[in-house]
Structure 1
Amino acid sequence: MAPVAPLLLLSLLCGLFVDRGEGACAEVDSDTEAVAGRGFKLGCISCKKRSEVQASATVEWFFSPTGESDFKPIYTYNENGPSIEHDQFMDRIDWNGSKRSNDIQDASIYLFNVTFNDSGTYQCFLYRTLIYTNDEYHDDINKVVHLTVVAKGTMYDAVMKRSASVGLLVSLIHYLYRLIIALSREINNCFLVITKQWFTTEY
């Protein structure tokens, strides 16, 4: 445990010289099977390739029931906040994505009290604007989730719990790996900034 203290001290020093970036992002596919009567997270994650580039984004979700081809808007999230667009999902959708930031990388939503009528295809559109010094770049991302709803008390329910635990563990390991990489880059930048300021300071 001894090396932890110097690392924390270094992180605090970095905070004095270097702007802190966004947390590490890991793209994980959404689960595709839900249990009737329970809640379900519809995942939609799109990580920026360059975390240091500022960005803003808006989100739209669409739904096409099983056996149909037309998609209907069900949910939007933008600078004005969230909005449920369809009566079937009224009071049953909650934002489960990036918080307190217009730089949205996680556009997931949470569906309460899932019914069999919720089976079908969901499309998540994330409209991102990358903001550079003298220019802007627009990028449209589309994620698709094919959702199947099953009854309570099936063998599948128990299997899903174990699969979710394994998936969560894999996601956590991936997240920690990206976090370590991001932290090592931050520490390296911190050393460079501190060294530069050390040698350029006039006494």
Structure 2
Amino acid sequence: MTPSHSLLLFLSCTLFVHQCQGACAEVDSDTEAVAGRGFKLGCISCKRRSEVKAAATVEWYFQADGEVDFVQIYTYEDGAPTESEHFKGRLDWNGTKRSRDIQDASIYLLNVTFNDSGTYHCFFNRILSFDNYEYTTTISKLVRLTVVAKATRGTASIASEVMMYVSIIGLQVWLLIEMIYCYRKISAAGEEALREAANAEYLAIASESKDNCAGVQVGE
């Protein structure tokens, strides 16, 4: 097996394994919002065993900068959301839909203000259903939100963009190498076929000449 084919096999296997792991990935929420715009408060908790049936309810709490206590601002249960008066009409469910097995509990905050800066606490109250019993567990996530007047690009954003361009360039280089390899292989196969055809033609002519010579000698 050539190095090129080994690389193709590796990439295919990697893609297959990635797909088999499921669609859920626990990505951290962004932490910087721009005043006057919308912002997604991310909160994801993936089940470790996808085959286990589960149902979950979600609670969101908020601690404003300078405050000591958390106040409940949002609940989501059986597809029915409930908002607090402080965020009334400004919170929208952005998580798992049409399923009680909630793994994404993200919410969307509309028309962000500077007063929205603070710490947001997300709770999953999850019931796992096994054959003979149920198990209740609580998972929590924290999001420390800062509200700014103008968007800024963080180091992580810049690094992600650089890695994206590096990946694109690397893929193009790999495709170019693969094309050159395939072209050389096809060209070599074509030259070999031409040589074999030429040898076959030469042998046929030589055999015909030998037969003609033998016929002349017999006639004499």
Q: Same fold (TM over 0.5)?
A: yes
Q: Is the 8 A contact 1:37 1:114 kept in 2?
A: yes
Deviation at 1:32, TM superposition (A): 0.7
- Tell me which protein shows more helix as a share of its residues: 2
Q: What are structure 2's unaligned runs of at least 5 residues?
A: 1-19, 165-220
Q: Give the structure 1 partner of residue 137 of structure 2.
A: 139
Amino acid at match of 2:39: F
How many equivalent pairs are there? 144
Q: What are structure 1's unaligned runs of at least 5 residues?
A: 1-20, 171-203
Mapped to 2, the partners of 1:55 and 1:101 lie a distance apart of 10
Q: 1:80 and 1:164, CA in 2 relative to 1: closer, same or farther beyond 3 A?
A: farther
Mapped to 1, the partners of 2:78 and 2:127 lie a distance apart of 13
Amino acid at match of 2:111: N
Q: Is the 8 A contact 1:22 1:51 kept in 2?
A: no
Q: Give the structure 2 partner of residue 193 of structure 1.
A: none
Q: 1:79 and 1:165, CA in 2 relative to 1: closer, same or farther beyond 3 A?
A: farther
Deviation at 1:80, TM superposition (A): 5.4
Q: Is the 8 A contact 1:41 1:111 kept in 2?
A: yes
Q: How does 1:83-122 map to 2 (within 5 A)?
A: 83-85=82-84, 87-122=85-120
Mapped to 1, the partners of 2:78 and 2:159 lie a distance apart of 34
Q: 1:165 and 1:136, CA in 2 relative to 1: closer, same or farther beyond 3 A?
A: farther
Three-state SS of the structure 1 residue aligned to 2:121 is strand
> Any runs of at least 4 consecutive aligned residues in structure 1 with deviations exceeding 2 A, and if so which?
164-167
Give per-residue Cα distances to partners, 1:23-60, cap 9 Å, x unaligned: 52000011111000000000000000000000000000
Deviation at 1:79, TM superposition (A): 1.3
TM-score, length-scaled by structure 2? 0.61
Q: 1:43 and 1:165, CA in 2 relative to 1: closer, same or farther beyond 3 A?
A: farther
TM-score, length-scaled by structure 1? 0.66
Greater C-alpha radius of gyration: 2
Mapped to 1, the partners of 2:75 and 2:35 lie a distance apart of 24
Mapped to 2, the partners of 1:165 and 1:69 lie a distance apart of 35
- The percent identity for this pair of structures is 64
Q: 1:22 and 1:89, CA in 2 relative to 1: closer, same or farther beyond 3 A?
A: farther
